[in-house]
Amino acid sequence: MKILVVGIGYVGLANAILLSRQYDVLLADIDENKVKCVNNNKSPINDELIEKFFRENPDKLKAVLADTSQVYKDFDYIIIAVSTNYNDTIDFFDTKNIEDILKKIKNINSNAIVIIKSTIPIGYTKRIKKEFKFDNIVFSPEFLREGSALYDCLNPSRMIIGDKGNLGKQVAELFYKSIQKKNLKTFFMDSDEAESVKLFSNTYLAMRISFFNEIDTYAKNYNLNVLDIINGVCADPRIGDYYNNPSFGYGDYCLPKDTKQLLANFKNIPNSLIKAIVESNEVRKKFISNSILSRNVKNIGIFRLIMKNNSDNFRNSVILDIINYLKKYNNDLNFIIHEPLLKDDKFQGIKIENNLNSFIEKSDLIVANRISRELIKVKSKIFSSDLFLTDL
């Protein structure tokens, strides 16, 4: 059994490692640096278990550049795990990367079974199978957390297979042999429903984040103890004491684009909640920005650009929107950023100061979406909504 995984991101890398426990797996990507990392037994992403895998299993995985059709030849299964960014111009996911890969597969290896792990619009798989005259395509979404992708891959919450026939059973069997979790709930359904599960799941999570953020907004307006309110609300077992830590808004790679895509899929369908989930995030970011402006300080320190403590990227991080909003409404502010992931002197024209003591000293106000314990000593300087010092 030979498997090709296209896309060396969280989803692709975690799935490649998972399947390499039972099968021969090759990774492919257009990013030369990611390919080199894998071939040098280094993880290109920040994930403790993935890093451990490379340390303990040298040369178990190899990667190649996905630059020609020949890359896709002679594989039994090809997993597509490339990014699908949301295009605000067309109000839809940009799925061009997937189509480019499918064209090459159809040209050189039409017998391969293709498993799409990339997030896609509802109705996409059915449309693309018809357009390409290619039936060996199954959509099977992932529900991975950044920083814990391999753990979640080994111990999935559930398996969603977008095919009710023999093809779906083959795909399920492929993963069953590698996962650690026993008695896994598996749902076989048509592709439209599988695509819906992915988008509705992430939109629900965005809704929950927005709900607790609005509790925080209310409490701040009326000078109430938000911790007491949230603890009291979450003591109800129907609500639960999880995913309840207020933030500046939901961000990162998945939730903003997935909520927008679901709203786009709701075009001409009556709805108010989905629209409100998207709008509430913008309302929250503006509220946070205005609250910072009301402090009337000159020197604003931005503590970390990442969304989560264990993350290694800040793509679509909510703090970037906060910075842009503050710049727009007050050109006289001075910013300084503390972000150890950045090795340059500046980011978007803003000075970087990675000596923490110097950063604290130079900042009149420290804006932190998530607080590190090392900041507790200067609590009076901190502007944050983080109550529990956790990512969620």
Nearest CA to 96 among 74, 112, 118, 123? Answer: 118
Q: Give the up-direction half-sphere exposure of residue 59: CA atoms within 13 A in the CB hemisphere.
A: 0
The CB density around residue 379, as the number of other CB atoms within 10 Å, is 10
- The residue with tokens 């592709």 is 191
Q: For residues 73-101, give the mean pLDDT.
A: 92
Nearest CA to 369 among 294, 311, 298, 297? Answer: 311
Point out which residues pair with 137 in neighbouring strands: 114
Strands 159-161 and 299-303: unpaired
For the domain bounded by 2-189, which CATH number is listed?
3.40.50.720
Query: Which amino acid makes up residue 47?
Result: D
Strands 334-338 and 365-367: unpaired
pLDDT at 89 over 90: no
CATH number for 199-383 (one of 3.40.50.720, 3.40.50.12160, 3.40.50.300, 3.10.129.10): it is 3.40.50.720
Strands 299-303 and 334-338: parallel
Domains 2-189 and 199-383 fall in the same CATH topology: yes
pLDDT at 381 over 90: yes
Under the banding of pLDDT at 50, 70 and 90, the label for residue 294 is: very high
Annotated binding residues, written as ranges, equal 29, 34, 84, 119, 143-146, 198, 243-247, 251, 257, 307-308, 315
Q: For residues 62-91, give the mean pLDDT.
A: 92
Residue 153 designated active-site: no
Is the distance from CB of 213 to CB of 219 less than 8 angstroms? no
Annotated binding residues for substrate, written as ranges, equal 143-146, 198, 243-247, 251, 307-308
Check residue 177 and give its pLDDT: 92
Is the distance from CB of 308 to CB of 291 less than 8 angstroms? no
pLDDT at 184 over 70: yes
pLDDT at 313 over 80: no
SS3 state of residue 26: strand
pLDDT at 308 over 80: no
> Which tens digits make up the pLDDT trace of 197-249?
999 999 999 999 999 999 999 999 999 999 999 999 999 999 999 999 999 99
Check residue 22 and give its pLDDT: 95
Q: For residues 87-113, give the mean pLDDT.
A: 92
Across all residues in the chain, what is the average pLDDT? 94
Under the banding of pLDDT at 50, 70 and 90, the label for residue 391 is: low
pLDDT at 392 over 90: no
The Cα 364–Cα 346 span in angstroms is 19
Domain residues of the chain, as ranges? Answer: 2-189, 199-383
